[in-house]
């Protein structure tokens, strides 16, 4: 039986907390450390199912990875050409980032691989990475509809490409760049809108020559990666649930410590501020080459807005949380230009609309967004459809609803935010697992 949660209105949120390490950075740190020369230490590694699946895959490919303590990994890199093929399939679990980036990284190896995923990942589109990688010469096969499993055949002869990506996707860009490490000549990616640049920054930190600016990047094959230590900041996307919760629960005053503030991730902060949120950045600092800050959030009356489309890629993972903020704000919020939400771990527009409607919200779906008229919420029976971010967003919604809310199918919260229930309870959430 799948794990469910019961939640109800809690107390004002108060205290100081740290959320776990960044998922995007943790995946990339394992990948680059594995194909670097020498020993890299990763601290602040996310102990989530997604990132652990990526680490397990590199162990299958012959990389020794030690875990001296929780959130620490020591990776004994085998060099660019040191991975060993594995006859068993490589299980990415629930992780789109794992599967798409690995497709690029494994496309130029001297061995074949098969990448598989769980039921949700098996429904997610892979043509977006398969097509450009095939242009580079990669031998890739998926199901007819472009879905996993992905079979990657041997090709030690990839060619660099000049690629204008169709969707603004850091996963697609990163897959092409990782294949580009193994390709002859130059690989260039131009994006329709700048996306998170962790792959670019980390390649540079591991010593690979690379040029990049927002929305464009180029590198050439044939260099080497040198081991380096990576310090992973706290994940803005995990902080997001508490930014919304403390904004909407009267009397709240919460501090989130040392949250990653890469501008390609903080679109929700801008959107919440447009809605009238009271969030301040304190002690700005740098950690592992990334901006971090303490975020102090106090309750404020939020107002509906038209979410600027330019912010969408910078807050693509935060829409389930934003839907909750909109559902209890004063007035109307409109979201557009966000059709990508339909191909995340679930169709996040449809699943949030069904759940919030059950909780009494006035929400209308559009093909690429939603129109939400703020009001009050009541408890209901809801289902997260196995989507971690939906489960946590509904737990936030339940904190400002009358009565009890049941949230079904929550075990995948462990993919990105192990310990969410305990941490949320420690600052005032009324939330029980089981």
Query: Measured from the CB atom, is 113 or 174 closer to ligand S3P?
Result: 174
Cα 129 from Cα 105, distance rounded (Å): 11
Query: Measured from the CB atom, is 113 or 169 closer to ligand S3P?
Result: 169
* 369, two tokens: 């967004």
Check if 317 is active-site.
yes
**C-alpha pair distances (Å), 145 with each of 122, 125, 130:** 11, 8, 12
Minimum distance, C-beta of residue 79 to ligand S3P, in the bound complex (Å):
24
Site for ligand S3P in 34-93 (CB under 6 A): none
Choose, by CB under 6 A, the member of 60, 97, 113, 228 that binds ligand S3P.
97
Query: Measured from the CB atom, is 258 or 265 closer to ligand S3P?
Result: 265
Percent helix, percent strand, percent coil in the chain, to nearest 5: 35, 30, 40
Is residue 24 a contact point for ligand S3P (CB under 6 A)? yes
Selected range binding ligand S3P among 107-115, 169-177, 206-214, 378-386, rule: CB under 6 A: 169-177
Choose, by CB under 6 A, the member of 26, 169, 231, 382 that binds ligand S3P.
169
Selected range binding ligand S3P among 148-156, 163-171, 177-185, 395-403, rule: CB under 6 A: 163-171
Site for ligand S3P in 328-347 (CB under 6 A): 340
- The secondary structure of 361-398 as a DSSP string is -EEEEETTEEEEE---EE--EEE-TT-HHHHHHHHHHH
Query: Measured from the CB atom, is 170 or 254 closer to ligand S3P?
Result: 170
Is residue 171 a contact point for ligand S3P (CB under 6 A)? yes
Query: Measured from the CB atom, is 22 or 399 closer to ligand S3P?
Result: 22
Site for ligand S3P in 187-216 (CB under 6 A): 196
Task: Please pick, among 235, 314, 317, 409, the residue that the annotation labels catalytic.
Answer: 317
Residue 139's Cβ-side half-sphere holds a number of Cα atoms within 13 Å equal to 12
**C-alpha pair distances (Å), 153 with each of 85, 110, 111, 147, 179:** 11, 9, 7, 17, 13
Query: Measured from the CB atom, is 298 or 342 closer to ligand S3P?
Result: 342
221 phi and psi angles, rounded to 5 deg: -75, 170
Classify each residue of 238-256 as buried b or exposed e, where b means 16 or more C-beta atoms within 10 Å of its C-beta: bbbbbbbbbbbbeebebbb
Selected range binding ligand S3P among 151-159, 167-175, 259-267, 355-363, rule: CB under 6 A: 167-175
Helix and strand totals (H; E) in the chain:
12, 25
Is residue 94 a contact point for ligand S3P (CB under 6 A)? no
Selected range binding ligand S3P among 49-57, 136-144, 166-174, 369-377, rule: CB under 6 A: 166-174
Site for ligand S3P in 294-333 (CB under 6 A): 316-317
Which ranges in 168-266 belong to alpha helices (H)?
170-180, 198-205, 236-248
Q: Which of 316, 388, 328 lies closest to 356 in space, CA to CA?
A: 328
* 142, two tokens: 């998926």
* 175, two tokens: 């897959």
Active-site positions? Answer: 317
Chain residues in the site for ligand S3P (CB under 6 A): 24, 97, 169-171, 174, 196, 316-317, 340
């Amino acid at each position: 039986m799948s794990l469910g949660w019961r939640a109800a209105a809690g107390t004002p949120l108060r205290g100081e907390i740290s959320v776990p390490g960044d998922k995007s950075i943790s995946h990339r740190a394992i990948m680059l450390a594995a194909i670097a020369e020498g020993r890299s230490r990763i601290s602040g590694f996310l102990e989530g199912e997604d990132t652990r699946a990526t680490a397990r895959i590199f162990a299958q490919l012959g990389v020794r990875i030690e875990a001296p303590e929780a959130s620490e990994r020591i990776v004994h890199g085998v060099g660019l050409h040191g991975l060993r093929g594995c006859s068993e399939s490589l299980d990415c679990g629930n992780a789109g980032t794992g599967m798409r980036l690995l497709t690029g990284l494994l496309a130029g190896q001297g061995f074949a691989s098969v990448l598989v995923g769980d039921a949700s990942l098996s429904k997610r589109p892979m043509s977006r990475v398969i097509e450009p990688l095939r242009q580079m010469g990669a031998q890739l096969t998926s199901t007819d509809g472009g879905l996993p499993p992905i079979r990657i055949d041997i090709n030690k002869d990839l060619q660099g490409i000049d690629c204008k990506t169709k969707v603004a996707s850091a996963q697609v860009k990163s897959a092409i760049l990782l294949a580009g490490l193994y390709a002859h000549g130059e690989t260039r990616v131009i994006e329709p809108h700048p996306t998170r640049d962790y792959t670019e920054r980390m390649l540079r930190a591991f010593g690979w020559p690379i040029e990049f600016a927002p929305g464009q990047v180029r590198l050439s094959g044939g260099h080497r990666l040198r081991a380096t230590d990576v310090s992973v900041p706290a994940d803005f996307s995990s902080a997001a649930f508490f930014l919304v919760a403390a904004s909407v629960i009267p009397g709240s005053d919460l501090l989130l410590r040392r949250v990653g503030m890469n501008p390609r991730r903080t679109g929700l902060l801008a959107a919440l501020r447009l809605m009238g949120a009271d969030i301040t950045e304190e002690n700005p600092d740098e950690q592992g080459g990334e901006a971090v800050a303490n975020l102090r959030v106090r309750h404020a009356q939020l107002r509906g807005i038209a979410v600027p489309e330019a912010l969408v890629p910078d807050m693509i993972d935060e829409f389930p949380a934003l839907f909750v903020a909109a559902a209890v704000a004063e007035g109307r919020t409109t979201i557009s230009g966000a059709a990508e939400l339909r191909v995340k771990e679930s169709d996040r527009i449809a699943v949030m609309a069904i759940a919030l409607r059950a909780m009494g919200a006035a929400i209308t779906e559009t093909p690429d967004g939603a129109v939400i008229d703020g009001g009050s919420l009541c408890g209901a029976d809801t289902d997260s459809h196995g989507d971690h971010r939906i489960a946590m967003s509904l737990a936030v919604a339940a904190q400002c609803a009358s009565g009890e809310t049941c949230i079904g199918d929550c075990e995948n919260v462990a993919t990105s935010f192990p310990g969410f229930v305990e941490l949320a309870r420690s600052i005032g959430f009324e939330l029980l697992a089981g």
